[in-house]
Each structure stands twice: as C-alpha cells, then as structure tokens.
DNA sequence: GCCAACGTTGGC
DNA sequence: GCCAACGTTGGC
C-alpha cells in the first residue's frame, strides 16, 4: 500500500469540498509539475492512502485522509483552451498531464499544523514537506512517516 | 503583501 | 548547454 501527501488550497478546493462531491470523489486535475505528475502517473495505485494538506491558508497543515480510487489518466483540462490550466503542448494523442481520482475518507480528529510537524522534524527525517522551499503538490510519504503522523492525531 | 525557493522559458 | 529573466508556490 502506498502513502502520499497532496496539497490543496482550502479556499479553492479543500477537504470539505471533496467530501461534498458526488461519491465524495473528484478528479485531481491541474497538476502541471513533472515530478508531481510522475508520482501520480507512475506511483499511485487504487487504494493508496493520502494525507490531505491545506496550503496557502491561515493554518497550513494536514486536515484529513483521502484515497486513490482511479489510477492516472489524461488530464483533459489541459486540452481545453478555456481552462485555467490549459497547456497547448498537451493534446489527446500525446497527453502531457495526468490526473487521478481521489475520494474523501475522513477528517482527522484535529488538524496537524505545519508548525506542529516542524517540531517533529527529528522523527520525520525524510518528510519532504519539512524541507525548505518544497513546492511539490504531490509527495510520497513513507509508511513510518504515515504512522508517526497519524499517531499525533 | 513580501520574499525565498525553485521550475520553466528562451536567447545566445 | 548555459544562464538570466520570469512566473509560481506558499509560509509568514
């Protein structure tokens, strides 16, 4: 079983939004970073668990859990000239960007803020979120880090 | 709103 | 292939 962390801006699409979607499921479109794409396309499997992280907000941190319910397929929003994340270099014959479908699992009993996580940096040596300048929106999480973080809950 | 970090673009 | 310019992310 794989573990991941995905960032989202709660003002744009937060965990509450995901919970209210039909089937509590939404496609994770708009990823336009090659490293993040590769993690989604090559790494994510159905059933993988996701730490849902809120960024760019009052208290950035992990707020809940989601899971992968569909493996990577072309992000069609890249083909649409009207779409915010349109990419003229991506087309249906040769898609450049991919997305997965993500389903709401649950909120954490309490939010685990970035600030709090920083206090556990020693126990989370490989946790990319704590690295300076980290901007990836899709990040693999080790099983140890997954368990450690959920034990904080 | 500021700014550091970092990815991408494009001229050469 | 180098690197300056530029755009974006995201914490603060």
Cα(A6)–Cα(A136) distance, integer angstroms: 9
What are the Cα distances from residue A97, in Å, to A106, A142, A148?
28, 25, 32
Question: What integer pLDDT is reported at residue A143 of this predicted model?
Answer: 94
Q: Closest nucleotide to A113's CA, by C1' atom? A: C11
pLDDT at A80: 86
Higher-confidence position of A59 and A85: A59
Establish how many alpha carbons lie within 13 A of residue A97's alpha carbon, considering only the half-sphere containing its beta carbon.
21
Chain segment A109-136, per-residue pLDDT in tens = 999 999 999 999 999 988 989 988 888 9
Q: Are strands A3-8 and A49-54 parallel, antiparallel or unpaired?
A: parallel
Give strand letter and number of the nucleotide nearest A135 (CA to C1'). Answer: C9
Q: Give CA–CA dist A112/A110, Å, rounded.
A: 6
Domains of chain A: residue spans and CATH: 3-152 (3.10.590.10)
Output the pTM of the full model: 0.93
């Amino acid at each position: 079983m794989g573990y991941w962390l995905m960032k989202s801006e709660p003002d744009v699409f937060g965990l509450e939004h995901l919970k209210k979607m039909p089937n509590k499921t939404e496609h994770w479109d708009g990823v336009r970073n090659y490293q993040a794409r590769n993690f989604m396309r090559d790494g994510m499997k159905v059933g993988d668990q996701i730490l849902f992280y809120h960024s760019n907000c009052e208290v950035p941190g992990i707020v809940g859990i989601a899971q992968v319910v569909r493996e990577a397929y072309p992000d069609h929003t890249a083909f649409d000239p009207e779409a915010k994340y349109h990419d003229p270099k991506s087309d249906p014959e040769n898609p450049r960007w991919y997305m997965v479908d993500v389903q709401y699992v649950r909120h954490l009993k309490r939010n685990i803020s970035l600030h709090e996580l920083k206090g556990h940096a020693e126990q989370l040596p490989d946790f990319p979120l704590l690295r300076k300048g980290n901007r990836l929106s899709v990040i693999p999480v080790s099983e140890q880090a997954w368990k450690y973080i959920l034990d904080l809950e």
